[in-house]
């Protein structure tokens, strides 16, 4: 039986779809009124006594927070596919269900990864600035020369849903050759996209474009650093729409400055929202503010999915998209 008094706290304003769904389900819903990331001390107070938290990737969900909520806390629904903001071990110990939003943001993030590849290789932000500033004085044969994607080699680092969606666009749309690295091989993927598996050094050595799609876990922190940039082609472009700390950002700035690689497209940062000094001054990098899933359609669907997970769990049913315990 649904307990009408069950409480849900949403840590920041999200699209209405999910909020509406939670209210219709009969829960007492409150949404943080803070214009920005809710400060930790306020978050600890606000979660007291709630049965469910709808959290964002900017909210740290650890044992302290779970204990501050209290023993009635049943579920934390993350409004993201990544769950590196959540201590899954702490949640497992307290029997709290964790859910995320896989699948619904795949196409949006894959589109942004592709947009970053095209933007940096064809120098779109640079060209835009050039044109706006009145520097375009007429067509010129050597002006703003960039690189093509067509028929180049794309290295997918981390073959989950998003990595596969990027490969699909590359293979069918741009006739790119696909190589990939993951902890396990996927023969179905290899057949579908005539893709080849490589070890990490092999992928770094052979790829013209590298797109990162691994989760942030201890094993993937600084997966790409000084040594890896040495292996990459000087003409290679690196794109990251996963999590910032996967790249050693200081090493990236150095590699871009010294033209050890041709360029980078970043949607995520090592110390988000801060940028490593020097990064924003480089013309061979394109920067977006963690907007991989930021489309009207996707953010609404994420809102709905996070809410539905809460509805299921608080009604004693299994979550739709639970995150596995470590
Ligand atoms: C996620 O869902 O993990 C993305 O980073 C959000 O854009």
* Residue spans of the chain under pLDDT 50: 1-3
Rounded distance from Cα 78 to ligand 1 centre (Å): 10
Lining ligand 1 with CB less than 6 A are 57, 80-82, 105, 290, 292-293
Rounded distance from Cα 216 to ligand 1 centre (Å): 11
Relative to beta strand 75-78, strand 177-181 is: unpaired
**Tokens coding 17:** 């779809």
Rounded distance from Cα 199 to ligand 1 centre (Å): 26
**C-alpha distance from residue 30 to each of 12, 135, 179, 204 (Å):** 10, 51, 46, 47
Task: Give nearest CA residue, ligand 1 atom 1.
Answer: 80
pLDDT score for 4? 56
Report d(CA 263, CA 284) in Å as an integer: 5
Looking from the CA of residue 80, the nearest atom of ligand 1 is 2
Relative to beta strand 177-181, strand 237-240 is: unpaired
The candidate with the shortest Cα–Cα distance to 260, out of 221, 222, 231, 280, is 231
Angle at 68 between CA 63 and CA 71, to 5 degrees: 85
Report d(CA 155, CA 176) in Å as an integer: 10
Q: What is the pTM for the complete model shown? A: 0.96
pLDDT score for 324? 87
**Tokens coding 98:** 């964790």
Task: Give nearest CA residue, ligand 1 atom 2.
Answer: 80
Report d(CA 59, CA 253) in Å as an integer: 28
pLDDT score for 5? 82
Task: Give nearest CA residue, ligand 1 atom 4.
Answer: 80
Looking from the CA of residue 293, the nearest atom of ligand 1 is 7
pLDDT score for 1? 47
Looking from the CA of residue 292, the nearest atom of ligand 1 is 7
Q: Would you please indicate which residues are annotated as catalytic (active-site) residues?
A: 243, 272, 290
pLDDT score for 303? 98
Looking from the CA of residue 83, the nearest atom of ligand 1 is 3
């Amino acid at each position: 039986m649904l307990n009408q008094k069950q409480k849900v706290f949403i840590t920041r304003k999200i699209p209405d779809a999910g909020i509406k769904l939670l209210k219709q389900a009969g829960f007492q819903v409150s949404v943080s009124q803070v214009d920005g990331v809710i400060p930790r001390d306020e978050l600890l107070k606000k979660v007291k006594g709630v049965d469910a938290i709808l959290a964002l990737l900017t909210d740290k969900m650890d044992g302290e927070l779970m204990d501050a909520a209290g023993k009635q806390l049943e579920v934390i629904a993350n409004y993201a596919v990544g769950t590196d903001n959540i201590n899954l071990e702490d949640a497992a110990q307290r029997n709290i269900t964790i859910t995320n939003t896989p699948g619904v943001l795949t196409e949006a993030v894959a589109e942004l990864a592709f947009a970053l590849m095209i933007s940096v290789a064809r120098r779109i932000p640079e060209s835009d600035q050039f044109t706006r500033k009145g520097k375009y004085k007429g067509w010129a044969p050597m002006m703003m020369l960039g690189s093509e994607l067509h028929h180049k080699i794309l290295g997918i680092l981390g073959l989950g849903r998003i990595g596969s969606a990027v490969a699909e666009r590359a293979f069918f749309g741009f006739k790119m050759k696909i190589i990939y690295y993951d902890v396990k091989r996927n023969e179905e993927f290899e057949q579908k996209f005539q893709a080849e598996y490589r070890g990490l050094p092999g992928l770094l050595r052979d790829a013209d474009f590298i797109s990162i799609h691994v989760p942030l876990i201890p094993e993937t922190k600084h997966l790409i650093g000084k040594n890896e940039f040495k292996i990459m082609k000087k003409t290679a472009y690196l794109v990251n729409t996963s999590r910032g700390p996967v790249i050693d950002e200081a090493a990236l700035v150095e590699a871009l400055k010294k033209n050890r690689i041709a360029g980078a497209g970043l949607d995520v940062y090592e110390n988000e929202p801060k940028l490593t000094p020097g990064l924003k001054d480089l013309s061979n990098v394109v920067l977006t503010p963690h907007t991989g899933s930021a489309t009207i359609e996707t953010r609404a669907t994420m809102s709905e999915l996070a809410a539905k997970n809460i509805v299921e769990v608080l009604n004693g049913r299994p979550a739709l998209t639970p995150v596995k315990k470590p």
